[in-house]
Chains A and B, each alone.
Chain A
Amino acid sequence: MIVRVSPNSKAMTRNDIPKQMGPAIAGISYAFPNGSRTVAELAGEAQLSSSAETLESFGFGSVHVAETETPYELALTAARQVLAETAVDPESIGLIIYGGTPGSMSFATAADSERAARDLCTQSRFKYPATRLQYDLDLPDAWTFAVDQLACTTLLAAARLARSLCLTEGIERALCVSAEFFPVNAGREAIFNCTSDAACAVLIERDGERNRLVSATTVTKGYYWDVDTLRDEIVASYFPTARHVLLKTIADAGWAPGDVDWIIPHNVSTRSWEILSSLVRLPKARVFSENIVRHGHTLAGDNFINYRGALDGGCIKPGQRVVMFSYGFGAHWTGVAVEA
């Protein structure tokens, strides 16, 4: 298992000029499995619907593939890492929100996932990764639940929920964890994007100075629930709705489009980001897209993995204004504004 530990974690804790306090990202860690495939290799294994050339032209290079690791193992690794990196008092964590691979499937390897899926129809359905995380992480006082049916917006939604609950329930810190994988026979392409297996853990704190969660917007369009039948309409609706959500997120943060320094994307096709960037017209904003080629689309984890990468790489400077955006097939559009 590959655990990404930041050599520059002080980027997350540097104490600059005190600013406004509020719910903020206190730490991010993530874990990838050992296995990986190039797009060409995936095509050779008949894991793609589109050609390798097409997906390469969309910016994809290689993806992480879990062969021996279970989603839960990845989740636990990422969560332990974020707790270790931030060194917070475990008793201060009053909430765990898990999202991603459901129930008993999260404890199975990709090769065993179909059997595990059948367990969802038995008493084993009550084996929950969220509750096991609480136990394994030794956070006995943390209120624990999972979010579901949000696809790639799961972790943004969890962070948004954590932000709200920190404010309304007096929770000091909340741990949000996602773990996504593709069963062995599920293919590796989702609406023209190459998918990757990964877990990501995000620690939210109620009173942070840096990486403050300033605003969040989600648009859910229930009409598109039947993703098989309405695929064309979903593709057509993606851009105008994404534009609407991005602009609303920016406006709700009290910012102007010209204030945004960075867009932290979900790792979908670079072509779609070219189009969306052109439609939204944020004069100085750059899209942090360099992870698309090397990690592919990790579903829910993308935005936070990328945010961490942009911080560690020195791209995002303290005080800069950042908008995260993700689309969840099925169909949710979510934007989150962060002041770094």
Chain B
Amino acid sequence: MIMPRMVLVTGATGLVGEGVLRRMLGDDPALEVFALIRDDTSWARLSRSLGALAQRVVPVRGDITLPGLGLEPLVRRRIELQAAAIVHAAADTTFSRTLERARAINTAGTQNVIELAAECPRLDRLAFVSTAFVAGRATGVVAEGDNGAPAGWVNAYEQSKYEAEALVRSSGLPWTIMRSSTIACRDIDGEVTQINAVHRALRIYHRGLAAMMPGDRDNPLDVVTATFVSDAIARLTLDPRAVGRTVHLCAGRNALTLGELVDTAYDVWATETAWRKRRVERAMITDPETYRLFEIAVHQTGDPRLRAILTSLSYFIPQLALPKVFETTAAEELLGIEPPCSREFWLPMLMHLQATNWGHSTEKAA
């Protein structure tokens, strides 16, 4: 196993990036990290969170969207000379971005990282954190490799990450592409530290503001924990066998069905007296054509709030009707472990959302 002295991590203040940092520093007492930070506030928060591990983190101010990552020349030179690996986890994961905006951050930003990596003579690895949903509208078994994109994508995020993967593959660098599934919670205890599109969608259904979703009860729905993804990235970045490999950090065959995930959610909500009193019907899982008719009807009626809700869902909810199973053979071979079963953390995650009122109670406390 290679032992890089210095690792550059982009996106270190994000849920996955911070986990990678924590795992790498924890596993290797000799390791030091350059953490690309956009502002002092986010570094202060990260530093507090890392505790003693922060002593081996060098915060470097920069921005992946800027040429040369916006690094001071001397800082950049130091990174070029010392970096043995780069973990590029920074991304804009907002599904509703325009393609132009998503590309500016996720694709052009990756190109900027590749250009820096190309100037690092000691670099053993460019670890690119991607998304399993570069598969876009594809259905069926999704292989751990470049599968093309004949079916197109559901949102600009997926497309921009697909295009970024292509840049990484053609970079001539020792790369590893690690595709994360949708992150449901931090770990199997279900704690949610960062509200994402899945949680917001659950909130909408909990409030009874949307009553159907496209898909089939038997469709698999792949979700994972941030810890599983972070630990895997930390390990595979340092694993020479992973060079030139694309791996799925997904539940794969351990994914639950849409029907089970939805039923579990409504079962949890039904434990609330106030929710039960409202008699919210369970969301119907329906065919995409019927769901589309409903969307059109709402858009035609011009009700601004409902329109906004359906628009926000539209950036990812079509994936529910595009059943896919992410192959995890390569990931399991390299990691030597099975991905966690979604059943282990989906229920605790729902209970955490309920207990914290979707993060509102913790936000208020903070």
Contact = CB atoms under 8 A, between A and B. Distances in A.
Interface in B181-216: 207-212
Interface string A215-258: 00001010100000001110111111101100000000000000
B279 A279 contact: no
Given A239-B212, A269-B297, A278 B284 contact: no
B284 A271 contact: no
B303 interface: yes
Contacts of A238: 211
B122 interface: no
A320 interface: no
A235 B298 contact: yes
Nearest to A272: B297
Contacts of A236: 208-211, 306
A243 B211 CA distance: 11
B75 interface: no
Contact of B297 (A219, A233, A237, A275): A275
A223 B277 CA distance: 8
Contacts of A50: 300-302
Contact of A57 (B210, B287, B300, B305): B300
Interface string B252-288: 0000000000000000000000000111111110110
A233 B205 CA distance: 10
B300 A240 contact: no
Interface in A152-174: none
B274 to A, nearest CB: 10
A128 interface: no
A184 B365 CA distance: 53
A99 to B, nearest CB: 24
Contacts of B289: 278
B296 interface: yes
Given A221-B279, A271-B293, A232 B301 contact: no
A279 B291 CA distance: 10
A34 interface: no
B293 A240 contact: no
Contact of A275 (B207, B282, B290): B290
Nearest to B308: A232
B284 A239 contact: yes
A192 B301 CA distance: 7
B297 A240 contact: no
A146 to B, nearest CB: 27
Contacts, number: 71
B276 to A, nearest CB: 11
* Most chain B CB inside 10 Å of its own CB: which residue of A54, A57, A221, A236: A236
A284 to B, nearest CB: 18
A89 interface: no
Nearest to A271: B297
B209 A233 contact: yes
Nearest to B208: A233
Contacts of A221: 278-279
Contacts of B280: 237
B279 A223 contact: yes
Contact of B286 (A232, A269, A274, A278): A278
Given A271-B296, A272-B297, A240 B303 contact: no
Interface in B31-54: none
Contacts of B277: 223
Interface string A263-305: 0000001011011001100000000000000000000000000
Interface of B: 207-212, 277-284, 286-287, 289-290, 293-294, 296-298, 300-303, 305-306, 309
Given A221-B279, A223-B278, 7 more contacts: A232-B309, A236-B211, A237-B208, A237-B211, A275-B297, A278-B287, A279-B284
13 contacts: A54-B301, A54-B302, A192-B301, A232-B209, A232-B309, A233-B207, A239-B212, A239-B284, A240-B212, A240-B281, A271-B296, A278-B287, A279-B212
Interface of A: 50, 54, 57-58, 192, 219, 221, 223, 231-233, 235-241, 243-244, 269, 271-272, 274-275, 278-279
